[in-house]
């Protein structure tokens, strides 16, 4: 899932945005399922500045055998949505700070 935004961020802001998105996705997954049921969880947050800011969040999740691949995909998709909610909130905070 990608989200464009017309903003130029500092290195610190980029680092914070990536950290917040990663933490939000990870927290979502671990709030829905026990860590013992997670075989593999990889979260990547990539930013690209071209004509604006393009953010891509990928959640790769493998669960224990008691869950289906569809369960893992649904949980990963919801974790991505959770990450983008945090990204949106952070970008709004930055926009408000730049106006003051």
Report the domain count for the chain. Answer: 1
Write out the residue range of the structural domain in which residue 45 sits.
2-99
Regions of the chain where pLDDT drops below 50: 1-6
- The pLDDT assigned to 15 comes to 93
pTM of the model: 0.86
3-class SS at 85?
Answer: helix
Whichever domain contains 75, its CATH number is 3.30.300.100
CB 7 within 8 A of CB 94: yes
The edge-to-edge listing of strands for the beta sheet with 53-63 is: 2-5, 53-63, 38-49
């Amino acid at each position: 899932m990608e989200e464009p935004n017309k903003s130029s961020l500092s290195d610190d802001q980029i680092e914070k945005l990536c950290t917040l998105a990663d933490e939000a996705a990870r927290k979502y997954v671990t709030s829905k399922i026990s860590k013992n049921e997670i075989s593999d969880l990889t979260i990547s947050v990539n930013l690209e500045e071209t004509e604006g800011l393009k953010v891509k969040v990928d959640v790769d999740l493998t669960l224990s055998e008691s869950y289906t691949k569809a369960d893992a995909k649904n949980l990963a998709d919801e974790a991505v949505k959770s990450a983008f909610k945090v990204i949106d909130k952070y970008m709004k905070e930055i926009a408000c700070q730049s106006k003051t």
